[in-house]
A and B are shown apart, each in its own frame.
Chain A
Amino acid sequence: MSGRTSEYGGFLDRMLGRVRLGGWLAVAAPVIAVVFAVLITSVVLLAAGKDPVEAFTTLADYGTQPRSMALILNTGVMYYISALAVAVGFRMNLFNIGVDGQYRLAAVVAAGLGGAAVVPGVLNLVLVVVVAVLVGALWSAIAGLLRVYRGVSEVISTIMLNAIATGFGSWLVTEHLGVLTGNDLGTRPIPDDAHMPGIPLIAGSPVLVNGFIVVAVLLGIAYWVVLNRTRFGFELRATGKSESAAVASGVSVKKMIIVTMVMSGAVAGLIGMPELLGASYKYSNNFPAGLGFTGIAIALLGRNSPVGMAVGALLWSFLDNSSNQLQLLDISKEIVQIMQGVVVLSVIVAYELVHRYRLVAEQRRVSRELAAPQQAPKAEAAA
């Protein structure tokens, strides 16, 4: 497998979407994945003595109501930004497992500053966002520097930095920023004039869509443009495909590693912002944790493509939000996690199958062409 360094890449390249499929194959893979996931989930539901048709009807019914659509978008926005942060690293073979710690630490510091309201109104909102981006970038840069100057695998260092971020963030809240409300300890709430306004995007829904959806869409576009239309993006992708080839063509791999980690961390800093500036207005013990890991799953699901990840984020969010509806049918909420896991695996397996199918088809075509030369002279004579 590893010897196959053609345009088909290795398994990892295919899994992370660094090799593209063309034509009808690009459609076949996701369709196979969805069918596969639905089948497996149905089997699990049947084994648990539940009616899969009823379950899927409930899900479809839930997903099409305006109110749920707004909620799905709101959770999906955070998932999407998280997936983008992870994907930036994935595209050049950097596994930033530390997105989780980066966004949480960014949110703590930004929330503390926002709650202190050192500047008024919209300026405060901008300050909170900028600080979050900076903190995320700096925290992630540590792993980049360790990789470049000490050869520490970023997988190990980012996992450790997650633990440190948890301790550091908790210390900040407990010792400096925290205010006790009942049994919950959190930062001072960010004043009303610095809240991100919601958008009445979905007709008939009393729930507004988080204003950060605009930021998420812009980030998705920027991700595509930077990777596909700039020299930096080319160098990033080249380094991801073959480090030695990139070095030979004059790319400074060290610089690329640091810049990519910083970018990934900067995007990670934004993950907590929709919640902080659009919903909770403070960082407390109740702030959502684990979004960085959700982002890894969604980046895999969406194969690092900006559109694929958007679909993945919405699917993931839809499943998460529908857990209450399923519980009303007495279906255990764990079925949601089973579905999410099966979907990711199905996508990986389906794409791998399609890639192999294409490989075999390509080999057949080449061998046919190699067999052709005997007839070639005749053809020429005829012409």
Chain B
Amino acid sequence: MLMAAAACGGSDDTATTGASAGGSSAPASQVKVGLAYDIGGRGDGSFNDAAAAGLDKAVAELKVDKKELEATAGETDAQKEERLRLLASGGYNPVIAVGFAYSGAVAKVAKEFPDVKFAIVDDDAAKGDNITNLMFAEEQGSFLVGVAAALKTKKDNIGFVGGVDVPLIHKFEAGFEAGAKAVKPDIKIQTKYLTQPPDFSGFGDPAKGKTAAQGMYDAGADVVYQAAGGSGAGVFEAAKDANAMAIGVDSDQAALPAYADFKDVIITSMIKKVDVAVFDFLKKYIDGSVTSGPSVYDLKAGGVDYSTTGGKIDDITSKIDEYKQKIINGEITVPTS
């Protein structure tokens, strides 16, 4: 491991993976990363893709090998365990599980492979000496875009579209609401979840997102925040039709080529840096400094933030940053539900 760390110390971007394969460094020192995605996998334009981006960066900069496995809709915990077991027994170390759905599976498989380091994104229930929990303060980032929405609305009427009615998305809603009310206590907030579990289609159905957002704009809202994964595209579409504003989630969506058509209506995005968390974890693994237990990515750690691409909120960033500072200082505690 130390050899690998030394080898990548220069962090030379021109040296590609092909070079490392044929290079003089001993193959035994090569770090093989196993990553298990949640349903949707690489290419979901949201949360799995963010994890993939972190992994890709590690492949390019830290010269690790990777193996990615995807989940199937409707599978059991036993099948999730088997996926992790397959990676761990196949010599992949560390193993990263993306999504809280892997909670039980990671807890169980990590015990069977004490020498393998595991990381799980969005879950702090799986505990063990070799488990790192990559947690995000989604409510803090959502608070800031709530502030932005309240400052930008002309009708004092805003909306929140959640993909699926699960506790994780409740954190986005709670933060958004608290942020908006911190600015305008009497603001009207419309809320809608697209589907109820175990129907997880709300994270991947733009038509549902469009209908919900359209309803909110028709009912008087002029800014809608979406935490709905792939359904978010529909929210942006509705915003464009209504000539209104929308707020993105997870990545800086106004800067994504996939959403180029909607970049004029996306005033900001709540950024959740899963890619940074994944990359950090891998870097720590190579440095030998992985710690077990929760690693919290909040505003203070730069794990969540808001984006300014497009310059739509340049006039209010100083106000948003005031709130940001207050949250970092601990003057404001953002509710999670």
Beta-carbon nearest neighbor of B34 in chain A: A328
Q: Does A7 contact B (CB under 8 A)?
A: no
In the bound complex, do residue A289 and residue B167 qualify as a contact, i.e. CB atoms below 8 Å apart?
no
- 1/0 contact trace for B52-93 toward A, CB 8 Å? 000000000000000111101111111100110010001000
In the bound complex, do residue B100 and residue A182 qualify as a contact, i.e. CB atoms below 8 Å apart?
yes
Contact of A184 among B68, B76, B125 (CB under 8 A): B125
Task: Chain A residues near B100: list those with CB within 8 A.
Answer: 182-184
In the bound complex, do residue B167 and residue A184 qualify as a contact, i.e. CB atoms below 8 Å apart?
yes
Q: Does B241 contact A (CB under 8 A)?
A: no
In the bound complex, do residue A288 and residue B86 qualify as a contact, i.e. CB atoms below 8 Å apart?
no
Q: Which of B123-179 contact A (CB under 8 A)?
A: 123-126, 165-168
Interface of A is mostly: helix
- 1/0 contact trace for A161-200 toward B, CB 8 Å? 0000011011101100000111111000000000000000
Q: Does B313 contact A (CB under 8 A)?
A: no
Task: Chain B residues near A288: list those with CB within 8 A.
Answer: 74-76, 198
In the bound complex, do residue A285 and residue B166 qualify as a contact, i.e. CB atoms below 8 Å apart?
yes
Write the nearest CB–CB distance from A165 to chain B, whole angstroms: 10
In the bound complex, do residue A285 and residue B197 qualify as a contact, i.e. CB atoms below 8 Å apart?
yes
Q: Which of A309-325 contact B (CB under 8 A)?
A: 320-321, 323-325
Task: Chain A residues near B76: list those with CB within 8 A.
Answer: 75, 275, 279-280, 288
In the bound complex, do residue B198 and residue A328 qualify as a contact, i.e. CB atoms below 8 Å apart?
no
With the chains together, A71 CA to B76 CA distance in Å?
11
With the chains together, A280 CA to B107 CA distance in Å?
13
In the bound complex, do residue A333 and residue B72 qualify as a contact, i.e. CB atoms below 8 Å apart?
yes
Q: Does A286 contact B (CB under 8 A)?
A: yes
Task: Chain B residues near A320: list those with CB within 8 A.
Answer: 72, 75, 79
Write the nearest CB–CB distance from A213 to chain B, whole angstroms: 14
Q: Which of A87-107 contact B (CB under 8 A)?
A: 104
The number of A-B residue pairs with CB atoms under 8 Å apart is 98
In the bound complex, do residue A289 and residue B69 qualify as a contact, i.e. CB atoms below 8 Å apart?
no
In the bound complex, do residue A287 and residue B198 qualify as a contact, i.e. CB atoms below 8 Å apart?
yes
Contact of B167 among A183, A275, A294, A333 (CB under 8 A): A183
Q: Which of A229-254 contact B (CB under 8 A)?
A: none
Contact of B72 among A104, A185, A275, A323 (CB under 8 A): A323
In the bound complex, do residue B86 and residue A289 qualify as a contact, i.e. CB atoms below 8 Å apart?
no
In the bound complex, do residue A289 and residue B72 qualify as a contact, i.e. CB atoms below 8 Å apart?
no
Q: Does B261 contact A (CB under 8 A)?
A: no
Write the nearest CB–CB distance from A348 to chain B, whole angstroms: 23
With the chains together, A78 CA to B103 CA distance in Å?
23
Task: Chain B residues near A184: list those with CB within 8 A.
Answer: 100-101, 103, 123, 125, 167
In the bound complex, do residue B196 and residue A321 qualify as a contact, i.e. CB atoms below 8 Å apart?
no
Task: Chain A residues near B168: list those with CB within 8 A.
Answer: 183
With the chains together, A296 CA to B5 CA distance in Å?
53
Q: Which of A104, A182, A287 has the most CB of B within 10 A?
A: A182
In the bound complex, do residue B69 and residue A324 qualify as a contact, i.e. CB atoms below 8 Å apart?
yes
Q: Does B122 contact A (CB under 8 A)?
A: yes
Write the nearest CB–CB distance from B252 to chain A, whole angstroms: 24
Task: Chain A residues near B101: list those with CB within 8 A.
Answer: 184, 285-286
In the bound complex, do residue B167 and residue A185 qualify as a contact, i.e. CB atoms below 8 Å apart?
yes
| Given known contacts A285-B166, A328-B67, A183 and B74 CB-to-CB distance under 8 angstroms | no
Q: Does A290 contact B (CB under 8 A)?
A: yes
Beta-carbon nearest neighbor of B102 in chain A: A286
In the bound complex, do residue B86 and residue A324 qualify as a contact, i.e. CB atoms below 8 Å apart?
yes
In the bound complex, do residue B104 and residue A286 qualify as a contact, i.e. CB atoms below 8 Å apart?
yes
In the bound complex, do residue A182 and residue B69 qualify as a contact, i.e. CB atoms below 8 Å apart?
no
Contact of A324 among B77, B82, B195, B198 (CB under 8 A): B82
In the bound complex, do residue A327 and residue B196 qualify as a contact, i.e. CB atoms below 8 Å apart?
no
Q: Does A291 contact B (CB under 8 A)?
A: yes
Q: Does A74 contact B (CB under 8 A)?
A: yes
Q: Does B199 contact A (CB under 8 A)?
A: yes
Beta-carbon nearest neighbor of B76 in chain A: A288
With the chains together, A183 CA to B100 CA distance in Å?
6
Task: Chain B residues near A336: list those with CB within 8 A.
Answer: 72
Task: Chain A residues near B195: list those with CB within 8 A.
Answer: 166
Q: Which of A171, A184, A279, A294 has the most CB of B within 10 A?
A: A184
Task: Chain A residues near B165: list those with CB within 8 A.
Answer: 170, 174
In the bound complex, do residue A166 and residue B125 qualify as a contact, i.e. CB atoms below 8 Å apart?
no
In the bound complex, do residue B198 and residue A104 qualify as a contact, i.e. CB atoms below 8 Å apart?
yes
- 1/0 contact trace for A287-309 toward B, CB 8 Å? 11111001000000000000000
Task: Chain B residues near A280: list those with CB within 8 A.
Answer: 76-77, 104
Beta-carbon nearest neighbor of A78 in chain B: B76
In the bound complex, do residue B82 and residue A170 qualify as a contact, i.e. CB atoms below 8 Å apart?
no
In the bound complex, do residue A291 and residue B74 qualify as a contact, i.e. CB atoms below 8 Å apart?
yes
With the chains together, A171 CA to B197 CA distance in Å?
10
In the bound complex, do residue B125 and residue A170 qualify as a contact, i.e. CB atoms below 8 Å apart?
no
Beta-carbon nearest neighbor of B68 in chain A: A327
With the chains together, A290 CA to B200 CA distance in Å?
11
Write the nearest CB–CB distance from A112 to chain B, whole angstroms: 15
Write the nearest CB–CB distance from A126 to chain B, whole angstroms: 23
Beta-carbon nearest neighbor of B133 in chain A: A182
In the bound complex, do residue B166 and residue A185 qualify as a contact, i.e. CB atoms below 8 Å apart?
yes
List 13 extra interface pairs beyond A181-B125, A327-B70, CB under 8 A: A75-B79, A169-B196, A182-B103, A183-B122, A183-B125, A184-B123, A285-B101, A285-B198, A288-B198, A289-B200, A290-B73, A321-B82, A327-B68
27 contacts between A and B (CB under 8 A): A75-B78, A166-B195, A166-B199, A170-B165, A171-B196, A181-B103, A182-B103, A183-B100, A183-B103, A183-B122, A183-B123, A183-B168, A184-B101, A184-B103, A185-B166, A185-B197, A207-B78, A286-B103, A286-B104, A288-B74, A289-B74, A290-B74, A291-B74, A320-B72, A323-B72, A324-B86, A333-B70
Those 3 A-B pairs whose CB atoms lie nearest each other, nearest first: A182-B125, A170-B196, A290-B74
